[in-house]
Amino acid sequence: MRVVETRVPGAFVFTPDQIPDARGVFFESFRCDLVGDVVGRPFRPAQINYSTSGRNTLRGIHGVKVPPGQAKYVTCVRGALRDIVVDLRVGSPTFGAHHETLLDAESGRCVYVPEGVGHGFLTLTDDACVCYVVSTLYVPGTQIDINPLDPDMALPWGFSERPLMSEKDAKAPGVQAALASGLLADWHDVR
138 in catalytic set: no
pLDDT (mean) for 152-168: 97
Active-site residue among 73, 112, 119, 132? 132
Number of domains in the chain: 1
For the CA atoms of 122, 128, 133, 136, what is the dihedral angle to 10 degrees?
Answer: 60
pLDDT of residue 191: 81
pLDDT of residue 171: 98
Q: Examine the pLDDT at 3 and tell me if it is beyond 90.
A: yes
pLDDT (mean) for 146-153: 97
Look up residue 58 and give its amino acid. Answer: L
Nearest to 27 by CA among 122, 141, 105: 105
Write the CATH number for 165: 2.60.120.10
Active-site residue among 62, 98, 99, 119? 62
- List, for residues 10-63, the tens digit of each pLDDT value: 999 999 999 999 999 999 999 999 999 999 999 999 999 999 999 999 999 999
Split at pLDDT 50, 70, 90, the class of 152 is very high
- List, for residues 173-189, the tens digit of each pLDDT value: 999 999 999 999 999 99
Which residue range(s) make up the domain with 93? Answer: 2-189
pLDDT of residue 90: 98
Dist. CA 178–CA 167, nearest whole Å: 17
Residues 6+ apart with CB under 8 A from 160: none
The residues that bridge with 24 in the sheet, in sequence order, are 21
- List, for residues 93-121, the tens digit of each pLDDT value: 999 999 999 999 999 999 999 999 999 99
Q: Quote the pTM value.
A: 0.96
62 in catalytic set: yes
pLDDT of residue 112: 98
pLDDT of residue 167: 98
